[in-house]
Amino acid sequence: MNLKQAGSGAEVDERLAALLTNSGAVRAITAAVEGTIGPKGLDTMLVDRFGEVIITNDGVTILDKMDVNHPAAKMLINIAKAQQAEVGDGTTTATIMAGGLVAEGVNQVLRGVPVARVIEGIKHGIAVALAAVKERGRQIGSADDPVLENIAVIAGREHRDIADLVVAAARLIGLEKLNEPNFKLADIVTAEEGAENEVFLGVIVDKERMNKDMPATVENARLLLVDDALEPEEIEDGALGTEAGFKRYIELQEEFKANVRKIVALGVQVVLVDRGVHASAEEIFTDAGIMIVQRVAAKDMRRAAEHCGARVIKRTGLKKDPADIEKYLGTADKVYEDEKLEQVRILGGRGKPMATILVGAATEEVVGERERIAKDAASSLQAAVKGGCVPGGGAVEIAVAREVEKAREGIKGMAAYGVDCVANALRRPLAQIVENAGFNPLEKVEEVVAAQAAAGKDSLAVDCDSGEVADMLARGVVDPVPVKVHAIKAAGEVAVAILRIDTIIKKKEEGANAAKQSGAGETGMPDF
């Protein structure tokens, strides 16, 4: 950006250089995702230097995969990632509002409003907006509430087949499970090329049985989960050269085989192992007709343990008495290998009910995108169960913007201009949604503002097919309260953080980094 040209050709104070530079970086990031929002949003193609392509309209995926170096841009991306980690959806909305807040804040500063007063007003406006969203929330009282289907369809980018899977899974496990703090419905989603869409009570272990001589199906199975390598204890190579060391090696081998036979004697039929399995253990288990699955991912191991009522055991724990080991075992109605999909399924566990959402994909190229879509739908549905829902389609942001404008009347001094920033930023999501649908955003936003005020309805927005003002609740267009709350909060936090930056200084490299950077070229930041 040419700082001499900023502010309509006016000479810009050197002190604003950092603010304008950061604002430009934020604008570039916002532009990368704003075209994806809404039912008419388009996709973005991401290409790396090896020619690998990702086509998506998932905001956090676009931001995460972008090649970004600017510090302010990275701040915005980190906020989007935090939004994704917290509620699993709403990253594009958060990014658009954050970009809007920064842009509005910079405009006010260029008009002569002190940055401190702008920040003060933004903080006040954000507080009013958060309270207004929470007040409008409608709670979900049942897993059969039809609003859950609507939320899943919208968050799932209108892929109704995926939405149906997510809703079916939610009903299988129930609201109590969905409200657990540490449970994430998105974690039970998996996508496979060539699979059929499916929801079932059970878990998938994304591995095959160790060899084809082991049983492919086990009914009424007893399971042992080993969070370790199923191998004899190691002995130092140098010790093997001594008689005592070699004797100890033989003892460890025999002790290990005795522990493996102990597992067989306990009637265990399926063994899941975190790491590798020794050849002697494989032979004993194969002869005994036991299915063994090795190198099981920690996530799959944890879910299998919870579903089967098992406790994971370490390799040293196999030295325990059989009665003690038995306390670690889990049970399931059926364990079988799906040879087509190269995975093992555990069904009807006697522990906690656990559902799996299996999303089918026709080709390898679309597997990742369909999985992202399903995870977004699952996250939004769970967020709505936990925090309720509000009208979607940009309607609630317009209603909240009207509340913020009312609150401005009680603000004295120049902080009122900061409140204006919040009100204008809240209009951005609807403006972008209608622009992506091919309509004039200024015209349509004002139509919605006037319609909401005249009808006294906070659920009015724009039908993206006809361009007419419509009731979003009547159309089934709803969004989870937590998604909106976190998006507004995140946008406010990053905007304040960026507006507070007065100077950019190149940091001195220290330690190993200093050696790496010696002789490197200019970074674009000023040297001091």
Q: Which residues are catalytic?
A: 58, 91-92, 376
Distances (CA, A) of 130 to 89, 159, 361, 399, 516: 17, 30, 39, 12, 45
Q: Label residue 417 left, alpha or beta by phi (over 0 means left) and psi (-120 to 50 means alpha).
A: alpha
d(CA 308, CA 466): 52
Find out whether 401 and 83 touch, Cβ atoms under 8 Å.
no
Q: What is the dihedral of CA 128, 130, 133, 138, to 10 degrees?
A: -130
Which one-letter amino acid corresponds to residue 115?
V
Find out whether 424 and 104 touch, Cβ atoms under 8 Å.
yes
Using CA of residue 5, residue 9, residue 11, residue 12, what is the dihedral sign?
negative
Find out whether 211 and 277 touch, Cβ atoms under 8 Å.
no
Residues present in the chain in total:
528
Question: Hey, how many other C-beta atoms are within 10 angstroms of the C-beta on 350?
Answer: 13
d(CA 75, CA 5): 26
d(CA 180, CA 77): 28
| C-alpha triplet 361, 363, 368: angle, nearest 5° | 65
Long-range (24+ apart) CB contacts under 8 A made by 279-282 are 280/253, 280/256, 281/230, 281/231, 281/256, 281/257, 282/210, 282/211
Give the DSSP H/E element, type plus range, for residue 249. Answer: helix 243-265
| C-alpha triplet 384, 388, 392: angle, nearest 5° | 75
Query: Closest Cα to residue 486, out of 36, 78, 94, 122?
Result: 94
Residue burial 96-131, b: 16+ Cβ < 10 Å; e: rest = bbbbbbbbbbbbbbbeebebebbbbbbbbbbbbbbe
Residues 6+ apart with CB under 8 A from 307: 202, 203, 330, 332, 346, 349, 351, 352, 353, 354
Residue burial 372-401, b: 16+ Cβ < 10 Å; e: rest = bbbbbbbbbbbbbbbbbbbbbbbbbbbbbb
Q: How far is CA 425 from the centre of its chain?
A: 24
d(CA 394, CA 147): 17
Q: How far is CA 75 from the centre of its chain?
A: 17
